[in-house]
C-alpha cells in the first residue's frame, strides 16, 4: 500500500520581514527541521554576479538546503512579477511533489503576494512611446520625481515599489494610463491554492537600523565594491534595472566620480533603512502574518512550535 503524501493541502511556509532582520538564518534552520526547500522572494536575487549586495545564501548554505529562483538572469535582462509568479508556482508544485515543504523567503512584498494571494495579473499591453517618454522624463527629473508622480496617481502602488525601480514604476504608470485604474484595481484576486503559514520577523526599529548599518559595512568588507567594479567592467551600467538595486547604484556613482566612497556607503545605509521601513509598512497590512520579535529570548523556539503545530508531518 503506497504511503500517503505529506503535502496533501498545498502546504506553503512564507517567511517575510525587512532586510537584515535574519530571514536567511531562520529559514535554513526551519528547512533542516521540516524538510524544506527555499524559494527566494527577493526580486534582485534572480540576477547573476550580484551576490554580496543582494545577500544571497552562500554556496555552502545552498549545498545544505535546495534554493530556487536565484541566478536566473543576467543583469541586463528584464524580470517581471508575472514571470516570478509563474516560476514560483511551478517550483512550489515541484517541491510539493517531492513531499518537501516549499518555503518562500524574502522581502519583496508584491512578488510574494502575486504567488500567495491568487492574483490574476493585468493584461495591459506595453506602450513603447509612453515608456520612452517616461524614461526621458526620469532622465531629466530623476527617479524620485518619477516615483512621486506615481504616488499622486496610485499611492498604494508607490508604497510597494522602490523609487530606483524605474522599470516597474513606469509599468504601474502605464497600467493607470491604459486602464484608468490603479494597480490594485486591475489585479484581480482569486482564491489561494495554498494552505499557508506566514511568519513575519521584526525587531525594535533602532536595533534594526543598527543592524542595517553594520551589515552594509560588512558587505563592503566582503567585497561589494569589487563586485560592482566587476559588473561595470562587464558592461553593466546604471541604465540597467538591476543596477538600480541598493548598493549597486550608489557604488556606481562613486566609480563614476560623482561622490566619495564614504558618501556612497552612507547613501547605501540611508536607502536601506528607508527600504526596511517600506517593507514593514507593506507586510503590516497582512492580517495573516504571525509576527515574531527576533530580539526576544526564545523567539526561534516559538516559531518552531508554531510551524510544527500546523505542519507536523514534515518534522524530521
Is 307 annotated among the ligand-binding residues? no
Answer yes or no: are the C-beta atoms of 284 and 170 closer than 8 Å.
Answer: no
| Residues 199, 202: Cα–Cα separation, whole Å | 10
The answer to whether 21 is a known ligand-binding residue is yes
Residue 289, strand partner residues: 198
22 is in an annotated binding site: yes
Whether residue 309 is annotated as binding a ligand: the answer is: no
Q: Known binder of ligand: residue 190? A: no
Is 23 marked within a binding site? yes
Dist. CA 311–CA 196, nearest whole Å = 10
CA 273, distance to chain mean position in Å, is 15
State how far the Cα of 181 lies from the Cα of 204, in Å rounded to an integer. 37
Measured CA to CA, the distance from residue 264 to residue 248 in angstroms comes to 10
Cβ distance 66 to 94 under 8 Å?
no
Cβ 194 vs Cβ 10: under 8 Å:
yes
Binding residues for substrate: 19-24
Binding residues: 17-24
Binding residues for ATP: 17-24
Amino acid at each position: 500500500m503506497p504511503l500517503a503524501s505529506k503535502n496533501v493541502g498545498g502546504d506553503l511556509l512564507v517567511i517575510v520581514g525587512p532586510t537584515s532582520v535574519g530571514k536567511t538564518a531562520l529559514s535554513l534552520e526551519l528547512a533542516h527541521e521540516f524538510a524544506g526547500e527555499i524559494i527566494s522572494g527577493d526580486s534582485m536575487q534572480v540576477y547573476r554576479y550580484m551576490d554580496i549586495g543582494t545577500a544571497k545564501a552562500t554556496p555552502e548554505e545552498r549545498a545544505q538546503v535546495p534554493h530556487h529562483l536565484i541566478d536566473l538572469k543576467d543583469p541586463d535582462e528584464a524580470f517581471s512579477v508575472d514571470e516570478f509568479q509563474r516560476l514560483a508556482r511551478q517550483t512550489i508544485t515541484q517541491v510539493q511533489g517531492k513531499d518537501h515543504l516549499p518555503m518562500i523567503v524574502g522581502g519583496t512584498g508584491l512578488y510574494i503576494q502575486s504567488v500567495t494571494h491568487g492574483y490574476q495579473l493585468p493584461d495591459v499591453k506595453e506602450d513603447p512611446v509612453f515608456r520612452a517618454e517616461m524614461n526621458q522624463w526620469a532622465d531629466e527629473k530623476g527617479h524620485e520625481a518619477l516615483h512621486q508622480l506615481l504616488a499622486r496617481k496610485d499611492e498604494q502602488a508607490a508604497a510597494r515599489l522602490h523609487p530606483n525601480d524605474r522599470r516597474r514604476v513606469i509599468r504601474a504608470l502605464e497600467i493607470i494610463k491604459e486602464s484608468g485604474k490603479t494597480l490594485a484595481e486591475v489585479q484581480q484576486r482569486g482564491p489561494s491554492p495554498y494552505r499557508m503559514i506566514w511568519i513575519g520577523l521584526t525587531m525594535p526599529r533602532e536595533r534594526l537600523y543598527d543592524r542595517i548599518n553594520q551589515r552594509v559595512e560588512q558587505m563592503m568588507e566582503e567585497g561589494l565594491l569589487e563586485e560592482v567594479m566587476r559588473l561595470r567592467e562587464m558592461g553593466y551600467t546604471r541604465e540597467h534595472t538591476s543596477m538600480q538595486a541598493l548598493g549597486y547604484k550608489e557604488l556606481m556613482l562613486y566609480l563614476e566620480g560623482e561622490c566619495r566612497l564614504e558618501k556612497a556607503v552612507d547613501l547605501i545605509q540611508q536607502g536601506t533603512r528607508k527600504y526596511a521601513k517600506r517593507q514593514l509598512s507593506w507586510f503590516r497590512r497582512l492580517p495573516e502574518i504571525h509576527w515574531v520579535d527576533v530580539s526576544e529570548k526564545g523567539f526561534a523556539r516559538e516559531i518552531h512550535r508554531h510551524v510544527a503545530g500546523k505542519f507536523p508531518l514534515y518534522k524530521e
